[in-house]
Structure 1
């Protein structure tokens, strides 16, 4: 006992202090206020040292202790603000003013929080948990600013803000509860339990049917209402009651129920109304929903565990392909809709006209969700068209005439180099190598994922013959046809054939669209190499290159039109690249660079750039602001380079990060 008392004294003397790093001041101040009150130091901290103090020495020690606690509870970055404070009240007031604001700032902040609280309402599709979490956060912020927001105001606000699917439970609460004493925590528990029941009742018969051994033999114990294991329908026993059909342990409702806490025993997985401990302690008779014996619940039923040991979710010894989707709405029976299926061994369709190639000698048997066998009458290839008009081949697709829907096997898609990811209500198909999104499928109300893809017309499957002229046009980065003809006439390229008309190039149309050229007068041109060099910097690009480049800088000799391209990660690298170019050009040509024409970008007007040009005797010709026409050579070359890269990427369908 002595040791315990000693440890408690040490713990109270040296408490664990919440560390304040400049964020979430409201929560930190609440923790500190509680700690200071527990040591009897809050009055000194809040009001300061009284002027008429009967025990000044003792008060000074207590004030120093409170100041010590505050100093130890702040990070070094915050400590500088209170380093000069000599009393706890001075330090506390300084922090409050700095991080919470003056009374005027707090009033403005409260006004915004009140408005947010008043306009808050639950969105369609939003879970009750996320909505109540948002309400709690706003209420805590309002209270931390000093406003007393009662439980009754919060409760009535929540009841007003719920969606229409909670109307009946709101009416029940308003009729059965006294809202003047009803607590917010009680309301949270009631709403969460109601949402669990609501989600369970919304499960439809047309959702996916999973195959389990012996399932069909348990289908006659029905009754109307929620079954003892979740079954629905009117059966041999009639009336309202619970059937023996066991719940699917993998259903979304079960997963949701795992997150629900019982307010009686504080365990997860059930609500207070179904609490086994509460029923046992209150003397209620407990009946097992499985064997109908008293004294235990279904989760502890020995008979259920023994019988389930003889059955499995999927028979391991049976290697027949499974078809997990057993029934789909009749409205969905359209040949261009494919349903995603994680349990399907292969792609399957019942529409023969979709096949480009079909081997009808291939025979196989597929097992349905109701344990029935249907026959595969062929296997072949289906050509489909994606949203970006690319043709994709679905190989090893089973032809099953009895099937009225198309099923897309997720496993087979992954084996073929696709990545499938689920987030929220969306399923994303992407290429595993390039991460390019191929399709995004949205979940429907009955928890299905229908993908609409069109059959490719026959003419689209024929390979396009590329003429020699078009091939050389592509090889030279979509160079204009007159340029190619000039190369042929001058015999400048070995093997270049006579260039004919290739018609419309789709890559050029996408990559070279522009407005009409700006009218220009005849300008003076250089008569020697390096007499005048044009430069310009382009970027930042929307997509960073594979090497991390965001910009490129062009340097064009006015006389020869020789062009150099340098790729940059940052604009301040332009000066270093220019020095490299100047040294290289002098070594290669023996000529001196005399003039450099550029716009007034900061990279060309820096102090070091100007000093370097002056020391090397280079004349800087700067264009008039907002007049790119004065440096037209660089601007047009800029466009040529960008269009070359863009046209090449578009024509080949390559990702934009390959632009350098």
Structure 2
């Protein structure tokens, strides 16, 4: 009997999650060992006084409460505090192989994780209304695997244009591409990597698009420290251009006419076209008065420069020297392509 009286039973307060039947049996066993089973039955023995009965009930209740607290002194405390008291001087981190911390608290691992988060996060582009010097905000589109980072960290200038939905304005670092650029203080631009670049001028640039038509890009910011040429989709949207993307091709339309196209490379859209340095025309050079290039151009049904050059090599064009043409608006307007009408459904009553 002495062995039975020394048995210990642990009982936690019922939290509503554990099995109530098991918890009830545990409480009953504790009361039996303490000689307090009678209050649990609910009926006062006839031979017991009322005072003794109430005292016995109070002991039963206090036994359950007291054992629950004594068995679980740390119950309800913050687990992180108890873990923080452990000695980690001999623990080896599996990530960096250093002694003194676990991998979850490894500084090197946290730094790498934060770096990835910084690269992959899409920042929000906004214009600072409180700034007095006209600061602009540029957010760069990033594709980590392809390494296409639109920032000042690139080592070489790019001759390609990228259609960017995050930049505030059209931007270019090539001074020679601008038409009559006048230096001015245009404020600063905050890059995606928190670098600040100065705007040294604002002018126009001519680009020969996918359809061979030369179009003028207005209000382009000249930023010498920039390494990429960016076309702002937000600026195009502000002049009533519509943008659509399908099968890796981005189309920028003005009304029913497609004026720009971009090809998806990685996660970026590169403009299909190239920059024209000089006059915007079917060709970019003005021929001399003795050159019959324009005359033959009209005779041959407004033949392209490439076709005329091929005929010129075969010496089939008399009086033609350069095959270079001045701006001819009828060619520009006549060769514009229109998008097809969208399919519509109509139900007659």
**TM-score per shorter chain, which class?**
0.3 to 0.5
Task: Indicate the structure (1 or 2) with the bigger Cα radius of gyration.
Answer: 2
- Higher strand proportion: 2
TM-score, with length taken from structure 2: 0.44
Higher RCO (CA < 8 A, seq sep 6+): 2
- Higher helix proportion: 1
